[in-house]
Amino acid sequence: MSRTRPDLFDAWRGLAGSGAESLAVGAELIARWAEPHRRYHTLDHLRATLTAVDEIAEAAADIATVRYAVWFHDAVYQGEPGADEERSAQLAELLLPRCGLTRARSDEVARLVRVTARHAPEPGDTDAEVLCDADLAVLAGAPHEYETYRMAVREEYGHIAESDFRAARARLLRGLLDAPALYRTPWAQERWETAARANVEAELALLEADAPHLAAQ
């Protein structure tokens, strides 16, 4: 693990320690994130989300717990929204006690992972807000970065018919745009909101231009 992904190995060791059990859990997580069927939810997404968390860390109540949740939030990924997050949460409940976390803290990590299924944390749930904002930081990328993200997501859902994918994707994007803000933390709202909203609106317009009936759904 240390030879092939040294940055992630070091990040995990800095979070969970260097005990044999903790290192084994880290190795399993990195192997999961490196699965060949992934196109967007890859090691690069893990890195990017950890970096985004660092940028908004001051908004968290327990930043270490948030970082554990980042490592687990897409640890199970089969392109099944809701089910993937639930299985990832269950994996956290199973593996984190091996790293020395209490049952209560392991359960809290799992709770945060489950929140990412909808990205709708309750007001005042600051750790969930930080996690969700970091997970959605990709929406605020430069247009070419957003296009790479958009195409990778479509590849991950290659098993879904084009019309079904477009309808589901449009519903998701409209849901994001209908919220008062895409981001919950002040830092993210100030720095990411405008670019993210423009990217999401542009993708939704593209979906509806190619399939006008989606606008009426």
- Is the same domain home to 119 and 26? yes
- Is the same domain home to 20 and 126? yes
Tell me if 108 sits within 8 A of 92, measured CB to CB: no
Question: Among 135, 155, 190, where does a domain finish?
Answer: 135
pLDDT band at 6 (very low <50, low <70, confident <90, very high): confident
**Mean pLDDT, the chain, whole residue set:** 94
Q: DSSP character for 128?
A: H
Question: Which token pair is 43?
Answer: 């090691």
Judged against a pLDDT cut of 70, whether residue 210 lies above it is answered with no
- Is the same domain home to 120 and 150? no
d(CA 87, CA 95): 12
Domain hosting 40: range is 1-135
- Is the same domain home to 78 and 110? yes
pLDDT band at 211 (very low <50, low <70, confident <90, very high): low
- Is the same domain home to 44 and 112? yes
Tell me if 214 sits within 8 A of 208, measured CB to CB: yes
Buried b (16+ CB within 10 A) or exposed e, 27-51: eebbebbeeeebbbbbbebbbbbbe
Judged against a pLDDT cut of 80, whether residue 214 lies above it is answered with no
pLDDT at 3: 42
d(CA 207, CA 185): 29
- Is the same domain home to 125 and 21? yes
d(CA 84, CA 97): 21
Judged against a pLDDT cut of 90, whether residue 15 lies above it is answered with yes
pLDDT band at 213 (very low <50, low <70, confident <90, very high): low
pLDDT at 193: 98
- Is the same domain home to 127 and 21? yes
- Is the same domain home to 128 and 146? no
Judged against a pLDDT cut of 50, whether residue 180 lies above it is answered with yes
For residue range 18-55, list pLDDT tens digits in order: 999 999 999 999 999 999 999 999 999 999 999 999 99
Nearest to 135 by CA among 151, 149, 123: 149
Instruction: Count structural domains, the chain.
Output: 2
Range 111-136 average pLDDT:
97
- Is the same domain home to 177 and 154? yes
- Cβ partners under 8 Å of residue 180, min gap 6: none
What DSSP string describes 62-73?
-HHHHHHHHHHT
The CATH number covering residue 40 comes to: 1.10.3210.10
Question: Among 91, 109, 135, where does a domain finish?
Answer: 135
Tell me if 98 sits within 8 A of 25, measured CB to CB: yes
Question: Which token pair is 107?
Answer: 């359960």
pLDDT band at 5 (very low <50, low <70, confident <90, very high): confident
Residue type, 48: A
Question: Which token pair is 166?
Answer: 């477009």
Range 85-102 average pLDDT:
98
For residue range 157-179, list pLDDT tens digits in order: 998 999 999 999 999 999 999 99
Tell me if 88 sits within 8 A of 76, measured CB to CB: yes
- Cβ partners under 8 Å of residue 94, min gap 6: none
- Is the same domain home to 110 and 200? no
Range 51-61 average pLDDT:
98
Q: What pTM was computed for the model?
A: 0.93
- Is the same domain home to 11 and 46? yes
Question: Among 101, 135, 169, where does a domain finish?
Answer: 135
Range 87-110 average pLDDT:
98
d(CA 26, CA 24): 5
pLDDT at 216: 47
Tell me if 160 sits within 8 A of 168, measured CB to CB: yes
- Is the same domain home to 116 and 151? no
